[in-house]
């Protein structure tokens, strides 16, 4: 199973100021960098983008570095439940088979990403979790969540794989510009 740009949604989960501040510096930096790469690729390839915010009143809004890259077409949802599937707008999208692939990234891997991914999988969606664009406060929780997700049939992927699966061919019109995103 490969990611297909024409069948995908990119779901950025809870990359908020206060949640990010609780993450170790190295994984936080990696998540923000890889989110930026996939967000730029999604927008160039017309992949639908959704971002969630967990209780923004208490945890702050989406990090400025991500927020500043979002276009008007990106759907923003607020939630108090840990799974994004508890949000009516997201739940409704799972009933539409037009875009059956969900590419998930964000924080925390073992809570909101895990619960969202498992519920999307249960709803019959094709779910990919981008391991190098997710993190938890501890490395052990992150690894445990990825193992659980893999056992449940969720595809564990990485930023470069998603990018090149979306492109499929070096002759793609966006190949040169998007491949430069991973060269730095």
**Domain CATH number, residue 122:** 3.40.50.850
The predicted structure's pLDDT at residue 89? 94
Q: Nearest Cα to 161, choosing from 115, 103, 107?
A: 103
Range in 78-87, 95-104, 110-119, 128-137 the model is least confident about: 95-104
Provide the mean pLDDT of the chain: 96
Instruction: List the domain range (segments joined by +) for residue 101.
Output: 5-182
Task: Look at the chain and report how many structural domains it folds into.
Answer: 1
* pLDDT of 97 over the 80 cut: no
Confidence of residue 184 (pLDDT cuts 50, 70, 90): low
Q: pLDDT (tens digit, 9 = 90+) per residue, 45-68?
A: 999 999 999 999 999 999 999 999
Predicted confidence at residue 181, as pLDDT, reads 93
- pLDDT at residue 3 is higher than 80: yes
Write out the catalytic residue numbers. Answer: 14, 79, 112
Read off the pLDDT of residues 130-151 as tens digits, 9 standing for 90 and up.
999 999 999 999 999 999 999 9
pLDDT of residue 1: 87
Q: Tell me the mean pLDDT in the region 95-117.
A: 94
Average pLDDT over residues 18-29: 96
């Amino acid at each position: 199973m490969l990611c297909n740009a024409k069948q995908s949604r990119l779901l950025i989960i809870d990359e908020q100021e206060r949640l990010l501040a609780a993450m170790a510096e190295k994984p936080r930096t990696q998540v923000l960098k890889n989110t930026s790469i996939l967000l730029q690729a999604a927008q160039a390839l017309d992949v639908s983008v959704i971002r969630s915010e967990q209780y923004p009143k208490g945890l702050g809004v989406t990090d400025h570095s991500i927020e500043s890259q979002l276009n008007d077409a990106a759907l923003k949802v607020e939630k108090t439940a840990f799974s994004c599937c508890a949000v009516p707008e997201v739940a409704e999208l799972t009933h539409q088979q037009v875009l059956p692939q969900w590419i998930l990234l964000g924080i925390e891997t073992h809570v909101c990403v895990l619960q969202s991914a498992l519920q999307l999988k249960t709803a019959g969606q094709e779910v990919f979790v981008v391991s190098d664009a997710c993190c938890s406060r501890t490395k052990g929780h992150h690894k445990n969540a990825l193992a659980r997700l893999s056992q449940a049939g969720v595809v564990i992927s990485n930023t470069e794989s998603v990018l090149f699966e979306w492109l499929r061919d070096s002759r793609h019109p966006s190949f040169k510009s998007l491949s430069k995103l991973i060269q730095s």
